[in-house]
Chain A
């Protein structure tokens, strides 16, 4: 084994020495492995043993897992990364159960992938107490995707048992953990595996993937990295993504490296020069276990081509290296066509909104709701709309007792409508409960529901909760068969077409949650990211993090984004700008700071308050009053302390264009913004034109000039502002009435006089 490795190494070192002599043979591996003695340590049992701990509440369980005998089992899902070997799995449970249970008959089954791995028995002594139990799981049972099930078998009496009896309970704390001991596995460098191992969909944790640059990456290089970051962000989706930046230094673990012939990290200086756009995978010389994804080209433009190819064509790659011969864009993306957003030109079928149609189907009497996620452009103008029509079709096993069986439709956990399930047709007979699936016994049903338009934010979830009531005849005749299922038809539609795009800006909430207005074009073709002339690593990290968020939002890599300094006028004018830069490094921000409601520049900072915020009392009267955002007070102060600031405003260079700036007191404070945006409660608190972020606190202010994006139909443009002023309109109508009445009086008087006089000859 060892000899074999040495042989390979000597061979590659030969190749390396031979390479400069034969640059024409560029098809040869430019990377291969770097022969450093420290990396020669092959992966073996002595490699770092890691312990991963997952709380059950993070695996799809609730804060407390309540187990009942009737609801089936509590299912927890987790995956194991392809580049890791699980050596040990321990389930550390904290649970308690009802004192009424009969020991011997009652127990909790622990199943992994449908195999019983352990049984928690019930005793009288421990009943009602909080117990802890460690269940060792044989790691060989684990597969890529695993289902851990907790099933409660409970009995409280020998005869005439009621399976719904309230004393039948057991609860498992959501803080119970599943601990996995893992050892890294070396995987072969093969592009066909992409995006693994850099992103492994089995891993439900946030994606953290270091990006490695030369000591002073140019903005063109950063542009390529932005594309790659947004691609990874799109892949990571709900997991979230972060891209720590290493300048001229390789981290341990998987990483992405950006290099050109002139600009590359010192540790890869020995690499053969690129002869064109190229993507390669190679071992990380730092730890020899993990891999580096090398994106490069002779210059930054070629590197960008390589990044584009990775984002758009990774499916066609294999081998350890691939050269890009052509990268072209035939059709630029249109506005609002992000793949992750609902379509605005036609009704959208539910089948298009879910990854798997199975998500639309549920089992059991009170199953978890069917969830359908929706992303809507934040600037849909839904004023005066009656709602978004949802044409809903659903099927279900005929309920035995219709009066208490219903389907509740909610959006973002707010109830929209509850419908009774009917048992018309067959199935009304209580004796025959078992019906074959997909037989005619499953009822189809259609119903139009309107989603109140105002309840929609940019990220939404439609929830359809079925509940079937149990048949309970008498104490001793129990028929409990868990054969109930229900399904939302994939042909159900939701229709967002016909709404104009119009939004009052700045609204950093739109930016934080959906990357709006930049994501209006999914490839960010209207966006320029403006970085300091010499960006700090944190500046780049924030840019990459934001790009990742945008990719996650749109589902499309930001292939057309521009990255620029403050000096390139042509890339600043007539584009939406995302300014990033801490500690006074962002020149544009400094230039414009005077007119902004807030600023943060090193130790000096300024915060303004608006003339008025919307008062609830006044607005409660339905006047639709808007807050007066003019700056009323402004406080300037100076002092230390970590602080980051996001600020949104209209571009001073081009009217109707937006600027979002991210800045901080010092570069190391910058990533706080990403941390805050990754935190769901903090994200919800983000709105207005300026957001101060400090640790776990965000402070949103709406002050300063506002502007609007989008266009309204002419009538809406007139009606919308008038609708908030009934008194003004009332006075105006009285004026009109006066004018008309006076005119009528004069003309009718004249007509009457003529009628009575003219005939006098």
Chain B
């Protein structure tokens, strides 16, 4: 028997079957004892596998580095595609071959995993004719409900719980392989089961009623967890099935097309920001006589009046600024008379197809009162800019517009977001215009209309694009307003109460509002482990192992499922960073609004601003620095507990330490966002490839593509060197549909592959045309998310943690002088730790 295995092993490894055992083992691992890696020609190849180890001068950490590198090479590093770069040493390659062969042996035993077939099978099962029998169906529901109650509530011993959760986890992992909505729903229900089981356990057996301190902390934490659990469940309900509504074609007869007023409210934004919007609005494809563009200037600026007159659009100003944006819109509503109203924030540049794409549904459904489209941003938000993530990961808003609003649409609960939307005038007037009672007038208006039985709809196609907030403080200011406004609505016009909504709409609206109350719970999660580390309060009164066995499945299932639902629009674990950043700042306004909803005022989101120098926003990050400080103290206290505390508490302490360190890194991420990086462009460059023709001064034409463009210039990629000199005048042709338009430009620089240009536009018409050929193109934003990495939960965690470390490092960078001995030492130990990490093997000539 053993002999047979030996022969097979040797066949796999290419070793001599008749050789004695020790030699075979050596052959297996070291390729050839006669040519051991440290001898002869293999030496270099061997050394290349360990680029961070100098074998001639070994240091203290090297053995550990060696082991880590070996493990990494064996288990993690994918087979290098370019063999020329580096070759896995034969010894390691053989072990890897063995491992993969073993996997291939095992794999057939696993259930057949043809994803498509599995999906079809799942749908066939879900759609089976048995379900059409009401009796069978309701019996099955009844039994399943009973089973579910049992599964959630049955207490287990630790081992039994381990078996149970491993089973569920394996099923979840298998389901994940299957595409399609059935598997998604399966994952959702599994996650709900795991989380409900956790909550049941928390509520039934982890509160210590005997110790008042423990009980109080525990109750607080439990309340926070219950909130999270509720929001998780409501979130699943909201996003289980994004409707993916497609635009509906307009009737052929232009006479049937209704009249539309386009409102562009502005207050204090510079004209430069507003101009492109106006130009694009004018260019929207719609019968001229039925399209009226109005600039609603609450700043009452002459410059704007003149610009409006020059552009041939309406200009509406009022004498006071009552109710801010809502009042501004309501004022215009009285003056104009269009059947429909399209609203764009002054920096949201609509594409020319905006109205044609959105109005079709209004004509189909007379009860439809609102059509919302996503807010798309072509400039990086503070997260993207300060963390260097722009266009690599989805931005913060994408989850909402990509999944949640689309999911709301299924339940007829999409709400108005203040911009990039079309409203029907009649229902809007029926509810008394835009709501003024709260600072989130948009959502509140939608809620009021829906209470009257009107529908709302959502088209998940970016049909307008704008500027993101330019600094963290501005971003936070905006979110504070939203949070306060939502809390106000929750108090004044609670969607769970009142008439007119169906239960699904109540859930969707309710969750939108509840979501903004996450500040308190988040702060609790950030500080809860300190209760144990400092005060020895068992906030979760259970042994550490039990906590792990319940918490981990709860979190793992939730993350897996959310990654599946939202992966394309939000990467795993990033929500934690976003929430952490806002937590401190939204707690107070939401609490105040919940207690006294009539307090608080509208603050305008600043846009189009500049960040001249890199700086660290100490003011914004101060609360987080304090919490980090507390957590670091907690870590020290925890280490003290490990070394000097009772032995039976070590596991609990370690668990709390892990939690604390995770919190520190999350906070690090939040702090990292506060280190503002330079933002000096007045005009944001949008990286999109458009066909273009470069007219050279000598008359030659070059067919080329844009690399990026803005309203001040563009870069073209050219197939061959142009030889253009700086300041030379050229023409660039761009297309608006089939129309070609040529624009004058001046060369800034040019090289073999690129020409960078600055527009030299003479007239307003030319500027308008440029906008319409670029930002307002019908297909401008369709391919925006191409080339992004897909979400992998663990990679999301990794990147969040990396950002966290970066944040902590940045704090040191800004806080401590670079040459102080303290920061030197920190840097040294950081470098030493980094030196431990495995490396990609160095390329060597030894082949």
Q: Chain A residues in contact with chain B, CB under 8 A?
A: 384, 386, 389, 448, 621-624, 715, 718-719, 722-727, 729-746, 748-749, 751-752, 755-756, 759-761
Contact = CB atoms under 8 A, between A and B. Distances in A.
Contacts of B241: 748-749, 751-752
A16 to B, nearest CB: 71
Given A386-B205, A727-B163, A732-B147, A742 B455 contact: no
B144 A736 contact: yes
B171 A759 contact: no
A384 B210 CA distance: 18
27 contacts: A622-B158, A723-B154, A726-B160, A729-B150, A729-B154, A730-B168, A733-B148, A733-B151, A736-B144, A737-B171, A737-B189, A737-B190, A739-B140, A739-B144, A741-B126, A741-B182, A741-B188, A743-B131, A743-B141, A744-B185, A744-B188, A744-B189, A744-B240, A751-B241, A755-B409, A759-B368, A761-B364
A726 B185 contact: no
Nearest to B137: A743
A579 to B, nearest CB: 38
Contacts of B151: 729-730, 732-733, 736
A748 B239 CA distance: 11
B361 A745 contact: no
A739 B141 contact: yes
Which 9 pairs, one residue from A and one from B, show the smallest C-beta to C-beta distance? Answer: A622-B159, A730-B167, A759-B365, A733-B151, A622-B157, A739-B144, A742-B126, A726-B160, A736-B144
A718 B152 CA distance: 13
B455 A759 contact: yes
Contacts of B163: 726-727, 730
Contact of B193 (A725, A733, A743, A756): A733
Interface in B255-300: none
B182 A745 contact: yes
A406 to B, nearest CB: 12
A229 to B, nearest CB: 44
A735 B144 contact: yes
A624 B157 CA distance: 8
Nearest to B411: A751
Contacts of A732: 147, 150-151
Interface of B: 123, 125-127, 131, 137, 140-141, 143-145, 147-148, 150-151, 153-161, 163-164, 167-168, 171, 181-182, 185-186, 188-190, 193, 205, 210-211, 240-241, 243, 245, 361, 364-368, 409-412, 455
Contacts of A743: 131, 137, 141
Nearest to B166: A730
B193 A737 contact: yes
Contacts of A738: 125, 186
Contact of A759 (B141, B167, B364, B411): B364
Contacts of B211: 448
Contacts of A736: 143-145, 147-148, 151, 193
Contacts of B155: 384, 719, 723
B167 A727 contact: yes
Contacts of B164: 726-727, 729-730
Nearest to A718: B150
Contact of A726 (B147, B148, B167): B167
Given A730-B167, A742-B126, A746-B131, A723 B141 contact: no
A740 B167 CA distance: 18
A746 B186 contact: no
B210 A448 contact: yes
A722 B131 contact: no
Scoring B125, B160, B167, B241 by chain A CB atoms within 10 A of each residue's CB, the highest score goes to B160
Contact of B147 (A622, A733, A752, A760): A733
Main secondary structure of the interface of A (DSSP, over half): helix
Contacts of B245: 755-756
A756 B367 CA distance: 14
Contacts of A746: 126-127, 131
A740 B143 CA distance: 11
B154 A722 contact: yes
Nearest to A733: B151
Nearest to B171: A734
Contacts of A756: 243, 245
Contacts of B148: 733, 736, 740
Given A729-B151, A759-B364, A752 B455 contact: no
A760 B126 contact: no
B131 A726 contact: no
B673 to A, nearest CB: 37
B87 to A, nearest CB: 45
Contacts of A740: 144, 148, 189
Nearest to B148: A736
A723 B186 CA distance: 24
Nearest to B211: A448
Given A729-B151, A742-B126, A723 B156 contact: yes
B182 A742 contact: yes
B602 to A, nearest CB: 34
A31 to B, nearest CB: 62
B5 to A, nearest CB: 28
Given A730-B168, A746-B131, A389 B185 contact: no
B161 A726 contact: yes
Contacts of B167: 726-727, 730-731, 734
Nearest to B241: A748
Contacts of B243: 752, 755-756
A200 B476 CA distance: 87
B156 A751 contact: no
Nearest to A623: B160
A138 to B, nearest CB: 55
A726 B156 contact: yes
A584 B150 CA distance: 51
Given A722-B150, A759-B368, A745 B161 contact: no
A390 B140 CA distance: 47
Contacts of B140: 739
B153 A715 contact: yes
Nearest to B167: A730
A735 B140 CA distance: 10
Contacts of A386: 205
Scoring A389, A724, A737 by chain B CB atoms within 10 A of each residue's CB, the highest score goes to A737
Contacts of B145: 736
A729 B185 CA distance: 20
Contacts of B158: 622
B157 A737 contact: no
B144 A621 contact: no
B159 A623 contact: yes
B164 to A, nearest CB: 4
B576 to A, nearest CB: 27
Nearest to B240: A748
B424 to A, nearest CB: 14
A742 B150 contact: no
Contacts of B210: 389, 448
B181 A745 contact: yes
A736 B142 CA distance: 10
Contacts of B154: 718-719, 722-723, 729
Nearest to B159: A622
Contact of A622 (B160, B186, B189): B160
B140 to A, nearest CB: 5
Contact of A735 (B147, B168, B182): B147
Contacts of A624: 157, 160
B760 to A, nearest CB: 49
B721 to A, nearest CB: 53
Contacts of B366: 761
B160 A745 contact: no
Nearest to B168: A730
Contact of B412 (A731, A733, A755): A755
A389 B211 CA distance: 12
A740 B188 CA distance: 10
A352 B153 CA distance: 38
A759 B127 contact: no
Contacts of A723: 154-157, 160
